[in-house]
Amino acid sequence: MKQKSVAVVGAAETTQMGKIPNVSVIGLHADAALNALADCGLKPSDIDGVASAGISPVELAHYMGITPTYADGTSVGGCSFMLHVRHAAAAINEGLATTILITHGESGRSRVGAGGFARSPTSLSGQFEMPFGPMGPPTMFTIPVLRYLKARGYTVEDLAQVAVIQREWAALNPRASYKDPITVEDVLRSDMIAWPFTKLMCCLVTDGGGALILTSAERARDFPQKPVYILGTGESVETPMVSQMEDFTSSKAFRVSGKKAFDEAGIGHADVDHLMIYDAFAHLPLYGLEDLGFCQPGEAAGFINGRNTAPPSQGKSGGKLPLNTNGGGLSYMHSGMYGMYALQESVRQMRGIAPAQVPDAKISIAHGVGGMFAASGTIIFSNEAP
Amino acid sequence: MPPRMLPEPTPETRHFWDGCKAGELRLQRCTDCDGGSYFPPRPFCPRCGSRKVEDYAASGKGVLWSYVINMRPRPDMGTEPYAIAVVKLEEGPQMMTNIVGCPQTPEALQLDMPLKVTFAAQNDDISLPFFEPAGA
């Protein structure tokens, strides 16, 4: 992809966040879209491209009164929005559309106007996984982890520490669902959900949404907000069945997506000032740090324990790689497809308006996962003009 | 208790479920490349794309590769916590299963413990492949 040729000019989350019993799924999409349009001073009629997951781009376009020349319904789980950004950037470069709206909305907690999550008993997962009793992500996304801990020499305390440090970031974010400090002991003593995972190692279940508006970098200068340029992008998919992951200690989709994004951006790891790794569960930042190449296999837990990803604390400066600075899916919010919120936090950090702003941050990465290690998308942002 | 969630075989997987009913764990392998065995079933080799594949009865032996213990049982799975496990088969592929004949505890369920397949009939058509400690 051509570097810095496309920028995010509008970005917003839903007006409310957390528990929103009075808004349906499509209403959350629309609320976020209207907020993002207001953010960049556009009207629905200015949008000529739409992308969405959860609802179809047809529903989005019709509901918003948009007549698009580009529609993307890529739906690969929580990182779908990373893929939407990537496809939108290519589409804008190719002239398929000029101004693309990407939306997310999910009534994960209140279930207002929400669809089901059933897998057909004829699907491969329906035949070869569901008969053995998994009950949603807490019992599936977690299955590789005992093997991972054994292979790396990590412990359950290492998993708990991920949640503890992310809670420190959440404490700095007024919109975070949970802000009270927690300890490793608190995490380990919380309800056992699926051994070895306790409740505080699992993401929240909340309501919310978010939207992004992209256009060419050339036009981006004319919008009210500081443009956030797209420097590199990646995506990949591996398997719809977590039991069939090639390697339980590493996500192939993470590795392929991350490498592609780094190669496109032409940057090195030391250039990265801020990082978001979709944390549906506490093990994901560990896999992400290793599979994106920030840590060698076996070093990620020590990296987090050593406060390299942590906020400033008690007079000590923050870590060199601030990670999940909104509090993440573990403490900020998680509606079901959290990737949109990782992107929103990267955009806020690049605009310089995040609640826990990383000083002078110039490059941010938002790395997402879809399904249970099924898919991945990586977006590298920069706030420096081309 | 609602009836247990069961697979509905498709033409591409029928041989596997017929195998379970007959007490055989049937894997597939390619006769064109030396890519080895694969799972879940499909009528071509996922490594080379050849349609020249064959079913065969696997050893039914494997080791406990990873698992969780679900503390909030799915309604059709009873009321007690149970392990959702992945077994690494002697022939290479991994498959999800339940471990039977053994307490559902971290102490009893040690990674890399040897396991062997056992089949549990659910109805006239479907038997599920479970695994039990190989010494049992």
Domains of chain B (ranges plus CATH)?
14-133 (2.40.50.840)
Pinpoint the alpha helices (H) of chain A: 25-40, 57-64, 80-94, 124-128, 145-152, 156-170, 184-189, 217-220, 252-265, 284-291, 300-305, 328-331, 339-351
Share of chain A above pLDDT 70, in %: 99
Give the span between the Cα atoms of B40 and A257, in whole angstroms. 25
What's residue A315's pLDDT?
A: 81
Instruction: State whether residue A155 sits within 8 Å of chain B by CB.
Output: no
Asked if A241 reaches chain B (Cβ–Cβ under 8 Å), the answer is yes
Per the CB < 8 Å rule, is A146 touching B84?
no
Q: Tokens at residue B115, please?
A: 């396991």
From the centroid of its chain, how far is CA A250? Answer: 18
The per-residue pLDDT for A314 is: 83
pLDDT digits (tens, 9 = 90+) for A153-190: 999 999 999 999 999 999 999 999 999 999 999 999 99
The helix (H) or strand (E) run that includes residue B70 is strand B61-70
Tens digit of pLDDT for each residue in B12-21? 999 999 999 9
User: Which chain B residues are Cβ-neighbours of A144 within 8 angstroms?
Assistant: 66, 86
| Helix A252-265 / helix A284-291 crossing angle, nearest 10 deg | 50
* pLDDT over 80 at A3, yes or no: no
**pLDDT of the residue at A114:** 78
Contact present, A148 and B111 (Cβ < 8 Å): no
**B135, pLDDT greater than 90:** no
Closest alpha carbon to A327 in A303, A306, A348: A348
Quote the tokens at residue B110.
Answer: 């040690």
Q: Judge whether A95 is closer than 8 Å to chain B, CB to CB.
A: no
Please give the backbone phi and psi of residue A11, each rounded to the nearest 5 degrees, phi first.
Answer: -155, 135
Residues of A in Cβ contact (< 8 Å) with B65: 147, 248
pLDDT band for position B136 (cuts 50, 70, 90): low
DSSP A240-254: S-GGG-S-TTS-HHH
Q: How far apart are CA B47 and CA B30, in angstroms?
A: 9
At residue A116, the pLDDT reads 65
The pLDDT of residue A356 is 97
Task: Identify the three-state secondary structure at position A64.
Answer: helix
Chain B residues whose CB is inside 8 A of the A143 CB are: 66-68, 84, 86, 96
Segment A41-47 shows an average pLDDT of 97
Q: Does A331 touch chain B (CB under 8 A)?
A: no
Give the containing element (helix H, strand E) for B18.
Answer: helix B14-21
A120: confidence class by pLDDT, cuts 50, 70, 90: confident
Q: What is the residue type of A360?
A: D
List Cβ neighbours of A294 (8 Å cut-off, separation of 6 or more).
Answer: A269, A272, A275, A300, A303, A321
Contact present, A74 and A51 (Cβ < 8 Å):
yes
Give SS3 for A189: helix
ipTM entry:
0.93
Nearest to A347 by CA among A8, A83, A37: A8
Contact across the interface for A194 and B86, Cβ inside 8 Å: no
User: Is B40 within 8 Å of A248 when comparing Cβ atoms?
Assistant: no
Per-residue model confidence (pLDDT) at position B38? 96
Confidence at A19, pLDDT banded by 50, 70, 90: very high
Average pLDDT for residues A140-146, to the nearest whole number? 97
**CA A254 distance to own-chain centroid:** 13
The runs of H, that is alpha helices, within A292-372 are 300-305, 328-331, 339-351
- Cβ distance of A243 and B94 shorter than 8 Å: yes
Distance CA A159, CA A183 (A): 12
Residues A330-352 have a mean pLDDT of: 97
Distance between CA atoms of residues B133 and B116, nearest Å: 6
Q: Does A136 touch chain B (CB under 8 A)?
A: no
Of A134, A150, A197, the CB nearest to B111: A150
B interface with A, Cβ–Cβ < 8 A, is 4-10, 13, 17, 39-40, 65-74, 77, 81-82, 84-86, 94-98, 106, 111, 128
Which helix (H) or strand (E) is B19 found in, with range? helix B14-21
Angle of helix A156-170 versus helix A284-291 axis, rounded to 10 = 90
pLDDT mean over A73-86: 97
Instruction: Give the per-residue pLDDT at A226.
Output: 96
pLDDT score of A4: 81
Query: What pLDDT does residue A117 have?
Result: 60
pLDDT of B35 higher than 80:
no
User: Which of A128, A130, A248 has the CB atom closest to B95's CB atom?
Assistant: A128
Please choose, from the candidates A173, A178, A164, A148, the residue with its C-alpha nearest in 3D space to the C-alpha of residue A307.
Answer: A164
A196·B106 Cβ contact <8 A: yes
For B65, the closest of A122, A195, A248 (CB atoms) is: A248
Structure tokens at B26: 């049937």
Assess contact for A350 and A222: CB atoms under 8 A. no
CB contact under 8 A, B70 and A197: no
Positive or negative torsion for Cα A195, A201, A202, A205? positive
DSSP B13: T
CB contact under 8 A, B8 and A194: no
Which of B71, B94, B95 lies closest to A194 in CB terms? B71
Mean pLDDT of A368-375: 97
Residues of B in contact with A196 (CB under 8 A): 68, 106
pLDDT in tens, A233-262: 999 999 999 999 999 999 999 999 999 999
B22, two tokens? 């007959």
